[in-house]
Every structure is written in C-alpha cells, then in structure tokens.
Amino acid sequence: MKPSKKHCLTQQEIEEQLRGAGVQPTLQRILICQFVLCEADHPTAEEVHLWAEKNLAKISLATVYNTLNTLVDAGLLKELKFPHSDKVIYDDNMEEHYHFLDRKSGKLFDIAKGDVKISAQLAKQFQIQGFDLLINGNYQRDLKKGGSL
C-alpha cells in the first residue's frame, strides 16, 4: 500500500493537456503540473514553491502564483478556501465533490458527491444552486475491520 501516485502523467501528456487547454507549455508550467497534477494532494502555493526549490527548479514565487492562476482559468485546477486556514489550496480533482478535514493533522480528503445526501427545506425565496460542504472530524488510519473502541 504505497503512497498512491494518483495519476502519473508523462511530460508529453502534460504538454498535451496544457496545449489542449490553450496554455503554452513552458518549462515552469510543466514542472508545476508534474507536482499539482500528479504528485500533490490539495497543495498550497507555498508548498508548490517549496517542492520546486527541492526539485532542480528555481521558480519564482510570482511564477508559482501566475501558473496556478493560469491553470485554474484553463480549467485544469480548482481553487478552494476553507475556514481553518487563510491559504488557498489547489485541487486537481475537477469532479464536483466535498471535503473531509482531519482536525488533528489538517489534512483534507476528497468525498465523492454521491456519498453525501443533503436535503434542505427552505422558504421558496431561497433558490439553491449549490452546496459547499466541509465535514470535519477525526481520521483514523489503520482501522481494523469491526473494531470496537
């Protein structure tokens, strides 16, 4: 059970994705995509920048922000903000979905929309268009099956 690489893409595939989204595939953008599209899990801009520094790339912080914003505008990334932090986090899961926040670690987990049912009985003035839901609680790794507390 190794740290699942999610979806690994070759440099070629990343370049195609960028071009397909109308974004020039520069060296910096390809590198950042390698991280945010393949490796990272809900990273912040700061984390992207730190990763770049450690991985043979000196990319300015401005470029990190520029690139992340470009990817968001191109529809390859979503920008999210949660109440427990001031930092924007970037999400490569483009499905509509919710999140679970582990209070202890601060780690976020994707929750499929279908796993949650929300029904609201509101006055008819309220025309609902969408829900932002953050579930918070405790994430218990390594839980044995049928474990009593």
Partner DNA sequence: TAGGAGATTAGAATAGTTCTAAACTTAGAT
Partner DNA sequence: ATCTAAGTTTAGAACTATTCTAATCTCCTA
Give the interface with a copy of itself as residue ranges (CB under 8 A): 80-83, 86, 100, 103, 109, 111, 115-122, 124-141, 143, 147
Does residue 42 bind DNA (CB under 7 A)? no
- Contact residues for 65 (Cβ-Cβ < 8 A; gap 6+): 45
Q: And the tokens for 107?
A: 């780690």
Whether 20 contacts 33, CB under 8 Å: no
Dist CA 108 CA 139 (whole Å): 10
> Min. distance of Cβ 55 from Zn ion in angstroms?
23
Stretch that binds Zn ion, among 10-18, 83-91, 115-123, 140-148 (CB under 5 A): 83-91
Which residues, 98 to 127, sit near Zn ion by CB under 5 A?
A: 110
CB closer to DNA, 25 vs 113: 25
Tokens 């490569």 belong to residue: 92
